């Protein structure tokens, strides 16, 4: 293998819990909400699938199905999809829906998996190219910079910047071209068989990890180092 491509959410980083997300926004905006109402609202937001990188909607509203299917193809579609889901939940101030969306783009909303830095650094030391291929509607590079992981990433292929989302092979091809590598000598690491598995169409080898909370997945990325030998 000459390069490894990584997914972002659920692979290298994990977003905060829905309750933490809501608490942070209420604190930042100075909006007070009784504890039992806060917990209920957090549960409703999670069921709605309103947190990008969090749980999928339990039931996708018919009027949002179209935008949901292509949500990662542009920043506008991404915002429309997730704020549309958020607005299904009644909050004390309508402005909170936009504030919630803004919060999830903050580095503070994300935590790297415990072994992410070690694995990325080790790959770089071996001369293996590293790329990040993500279905996303905003620039995640500041998150990598905040946690010092950007030093180990050579290229980013973000869906909203190219108007195409995984599993479309074109997004993986963008990353391979940026790294100047043959896809047949590339390993794709992700948590979604439906999305990340699309790399196989180019001839990439694919390895999956579980999308678990950070504390419950301390070393799932380390096997990658054995796969590139």
Residue spans per domain, the chain = 3-14+110-227, 15-109
| Cα distance between residue 91 and residue 79, in whole Å | 18
Grouping H, G, I as helix, E, B as strand and the rest as coil, residue 32 is: coil
162-220, pLDDT tens digit by residue?
A: 999 999 999 999 999 999 999 999 999 999 999 999 999 999 999 999 999 999 999 99
Domain 3-14+110-227: state its class.
Answer: alpha beta
Average of per-residue pLDDT values in the chain: 98
Distance (Å, whole) CA 69 – CA 159: 13
- What count of other Cβ atoms lies within 10 Å of the Cβ of residue 131? 22
CB-CB contact of 186 with 5 (8 Å): yes
- CA dist., res. 99 & res. 104, Å (int): 9
Neighbour-count burial of 136, counting CB atoms closer than 10 A to its CB (0-12 exposed, 13-18 middle, 19+ buried): buried
Residues 102-121 have a mean pLDDT of 98
Location of structure tokens 């919630």: 100
Q: What's the rounded mean pLDDT across residues 131-150?
A: 98
For the chain, give percent helix, strand, coil, nearest 5.
50, 15, 35
In the chain, % of residues over pLDDT 90: 100
Q: How many Å apart are CA 62 and CA 54, to the nearest integer?
A: 20
Residue 174 CA to residue 58 CA, distance in Å, equals: 33
Kind plus residue range of the DSSP H or E element containing 20: helix 18-29
- In the predicted model, is pLDDT for residue 229 greater than 90? no
How many whole angstroms separate alpha carbon 140 and alpha carbon 58? Answer: 26
Non-local (6+) Cβ contacts of 143 within 8 A are: 13, 107, 110
User: Which pLDDT value is given to residue 120?
Assistant: 98
């Amino acid at each position: 293998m000459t390069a490894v491509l990584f997914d972002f959410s659920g692979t290298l980083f994990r977003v905060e819990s829905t309750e933490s997300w809501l608490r942070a926004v209420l604190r930042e905006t100075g909006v007070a909400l009784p504890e039992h109402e806060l917990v209920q609202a957090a549960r409703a937001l999670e069921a709605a699938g309103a947190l990008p990188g969090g749980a999928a909607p339990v039931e996708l509203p018919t009027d949002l199905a179209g935008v949901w299917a292509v949500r990662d193809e542009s920043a506008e579609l991404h915002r429309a999809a997730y704020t549309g889901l958020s607005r299904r939940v009644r909050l004390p101030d309508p402005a909170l829906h936009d504030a919630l969306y803004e919060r999830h783009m903050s580095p503070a909303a994300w935590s790297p998996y415990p072994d992410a830095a070690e694995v990325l650094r080790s790959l770089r030391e071996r001369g293996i190219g590293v790329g990040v291929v993500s279905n996303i509607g905003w620039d995640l590079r500041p998150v990598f910079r905040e946690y010092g992981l950007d030093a180990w990433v050579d290229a980013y292929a973000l869906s909203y910047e190219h108007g195409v989302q995984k599993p479309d092979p074109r997004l993986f091809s963008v990353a391979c071209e940026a790294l100047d590598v043959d896809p047949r000598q590339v390993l794709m690491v992700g948590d979604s068989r439906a999305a990340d598995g699309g790399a196989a169409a180019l001839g990439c080898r694919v390895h999956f990890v579980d999308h678990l909370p950070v504390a419950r997945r301390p070393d799932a990325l380390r096997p990658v180092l054995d796969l590139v030998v």
